[in-house]
Amino acid sequence: MWLHANKIFLPMKIVKSHENSTKKIIFLNSTSNYSKDDKKNNVKSDGDLNYSKVSSYKKSTLSFLDSSYLSKINNLQKSDDKSWFDVTKITLEAFNFLSEVNHDSTITYQKFYNKLWNILNELHILTKDLNQQSLKKEQLFFRGSLFNLLNQSLVLSRALTKPYGYPGDFVMLQTLYDNKPISNTKLGCYLDQFFLDDELARAVVNRVEVMGNRVIQFINNSEKDELNILNIASGSGFELKKIVNANFNKKVIYHCFDQEVASLSYIAQHSQDKNPNVEVRLYKEDIRTFFRNWKSEQKFDFIYNIGLADYLPNIIMSSLVKESLENLNPQGIFVLAHKDYTLFPYHHPSWLYDWNFIHRDLEQYKDLLRTTTDKPFSVWFESDKKIVYFSEFNKSVTTNDRKNN
């Protein structure tokens, strides 16, 4: 049974707030057992970092990790000694450099950016051939060792702790759109800006703008007097703020579903009752069950998602595509966004704040769609950099009307 209150449609028995469910994680006290003199003595050059010093540092570092965090490392497959040595050496270098940022006026943002970029690239090159368990172990150690430094960035702190259990929640996305450092220290602000300057971050912002424009174009071009639009895993629906401020001469019913009440509440606050021609309906639902639980015979004129496909394994993404196409009206449009991991430094978020995506380039993505459905689709991009691409299906177009991509 659906509760209709202030135009928010939510299953009564499962509505609850998760705002206080933030994870409490205790990491290494980075200043313990490692003095300033030790740092100066140990990082002058690669030659100064011998194996015994590195091994000793790793042992003392692990002793300061929270027990639950340490157990995550110990439960993973043991990495080879050479990899452990190389990553620890670079971790020491990163620790020393980040520790000096607040106190060294000669460290400009550009110098900081170049240094951190090089550190992350070196880590990626050293570990790119490791299996996933060994790689995860190295990354856990790197982030754990630097956590108190990375935590000076309010942006990275949220990215690391993931209060809602997943990366890129609506608060994080709002920070991306605002595009301003929000931390209190020099190091924190530099880390904020490094996050904001990432090519992926800019592409994420662009895709929202582009998707909003595509929906507005569809609404304006449609000959129907009433349209039903579905935003799958809507998050906080930033593109919807743009859509409800547009002028339409027709009725638009905008359906948004997401698993987080906080995200839906954000939409309710910023997008409901803003336009007399746009009715916003919100549903708390999981991606795997929404269409199964959709009891209405109502189908949709436009269905889209812009931030989920990169996290879905092939079997779930195929199911999403099939169910979306099945729930379109005869002239309906389905749009799905995805990132091309080969066009941005995907290892930066992986090492710095444990954001990981399923790696598909454009051709792999197309192949997956072709094995899922015989419906043809077109492809367009969020910008000339082509980091984010959109596949668009038109239900009225058959394979006989247009050659498949």
- Is 23's pLDDT higher than 70? no
Q: Is 112 helix (H, G, I), strand (E, B) or coil?
A: helix
- Is 34's pLDDT higher than 50? no
- Cα separation, 49 vs 33, in Å, equals 17
Residues 145 and 70 grouped into a single domain: yes
Nearest to 31 by CA among 137, 108, 145, 136: 145
- Is 11's pLDDT higher than 60? no
Choose the most confident range, by mean pLDDT, from 116-120, 136-140, 145-149. Answer: 116-120
Residues 74 and 220 grouped into a single domain: no
Contacts of residue 53, defined as CB under 8 A and 6 or more positions apart, other chains included, come to 42
Could you tell me if residue 401 is inside a domain? Answer: no
- Is 68's pLDDT higher than 70? no
- Cα separation, 185 vs 182, in Å, equals 9
- Cα separation, 384 vs 302, in Å, equals 25
Could you tell me if residue 75 is inside a domain? Answer: yes
User: What per-residue confidence (pLDDT) applies to 405?
Assistant: 53
The pLDDT tens digits of the residues spanning 174-187 come to 888 889 999 999 99
Residues 65 and 90 grouped into a single domain: yes
In this structure, what DSSP letter does residue 79 have? P
Residues 93 and 226 grouped into a single domain: no
User: What per-residue confidence (pLDDT) applies to 104?
Assistant: 93
* Residues comprising the chain, all counted: 405
Could you tell me if residue 24 is inside a domain? Answer: no
Binning pLDDT at 50, 70 and 90, where does residue 399 land? low
The pLDDT tens digits of the residues spanning 273-323 come to 888 999 999 999 888 888 888 867 789 999 999 988 998 999 999 999 999
Output the CA angle 127-128-131, nearest 5 degrees: 85
Residues 72 and 9 grouped into a single domain: no
Region 375-402 average pLDDT: 85
User: What per-residue confidence (pLDDT) applies to 391?
Assistant: 96
Instruction: Note every long-range contact of 285-291, with CB atoms under 8 Å and residues 24 or more positions apart, other chains counting.
Output: 285/11, 285/257, 285/258, 285/259, 286/259, 287/232, 287/233, 287/259, 287/312, 287/316, 287/320, 288/316, 288/319, 290/232, 290/257, 291/323, 291/324, 291/326, 291/327
Region 182-197 average pLDDT: 95
- Cα separation, 97 vs 100, in Å, equals 5
Higher pLDDT, 36 or 318: 318
User: What per-residue confidence (pLDDT) applies to 87?
Assistant: 84
The residue out of 169, 185, 200 marking a domain boundary is 200
- Cα separation, 56 vs 377, in Å, equals 57
Contact 76, 137 (CB under 8 A): yes
Residues 323 and 362 grouped into a single domain: yes
Could you tell me if residue 177 is inside a domain? Answer: yes
State the amino acid at position 295 in one-letter form.
K
Region 358-373 average pLDDT: 94
Tokens of 308: 């989920």
Region 189-209 average pLDDT: 92
Residues 226 and 333 grouped into a single domain: yes
- Cα separation, 134 vs 70, in Å, equals 14
Residues 170 and 277 grouped into a single domain: no
Region 108-128 average pLDDT: 95
- Cα separation, 403 vs 77, in Å, equals 47
Beta strand 251-258 pairing with 226-231: parallel
The residue out of 200, 231, 261 marking a domain boundary is 200
pTM: 0.78
The pLDDT tens digits of the residues spanning 269-280 come to 888 788 899 999
Helix (H) or strand (E) holding 24: none
Contact 332, 395 (CB under 8 A): yes
Beta strand 300-305 pairing with 278-284: unpaired
State the amino acid at position 275 in one-letter form.
N
Could you tell me if residue 209 is inside a domain? Answer: yes
The alpha helices in 245-382, defined as continuous H runs, are 261-271, 290-293, 314-326, 347-353, 362-372
Could you tell me if residue 403 is inside a domain? Answer: no
Could you tell me if residue 405 is inside a domain? Answer: no
User: What per-residue confidence (pLDDT) applies to 75?
Assistant: 52
The pLDDT tens digits of the residues spanning 150-181 come to 989 999 988 888 888 777 787 888 888 889 99
Contacts of residue 273, defined as CB under 8 A and 6 or more positions apart, other chains included, come to 7
HEC letters along 126-189? HHCCCCHHHHHHHHHHHHHHHHHHHCCCHHHHHHHHCCCCCCCCHHHHHHHHHCCCCCCCHHHH
The residue out of 168, 200, 232 marking a domain boundary is 200
In this structure, what DSSP letter does residue 288 have? T
Residues 249 and 380 grouped into a single domain: yes
Domain containing 157 equals 36-200
State the amino acid at position 396 in one-letter form.
S
Q: Is 249 helix (H, G, I), strand (E, B) or coil?
A: coil
Could you tell me if residue 26 is inside a domain? Answer: no
- Cα separation, 210 vs 207, in Å, equals 5
Binning pLDDT at 50, 70 and 90, where does residue 131 land? confident
User: What per-residue confidence (pLDDT) applies to 315?
Assistant: 94
Which of 23-27, 120-124, 366-370 comes out lowest in average pLDDT?
23-27
Residues 154 and 81 grouped into a single domain: yes
Contact 42, 53 (CB under 8 A): yes
The enclosing domain of 351 has a CATH number of: 3.40.50.150
Residues 168 and 67 grouped into a single domain: yes
Average pLDDT, the chain: 79
Residues 144 and 56 grouped into a single domain: yes
Tokens of 36: 């300033």
Number of domains in the chain: 2
User: What per-residue confidence (pLDDT) applies to 169?
Assistant: 80
Tokens of 191: 């880390």
User: What per-residue confidence (pLDDT) applies to 145?
Assistant: 83
| Residues forming a β-bridge with 300 | 328
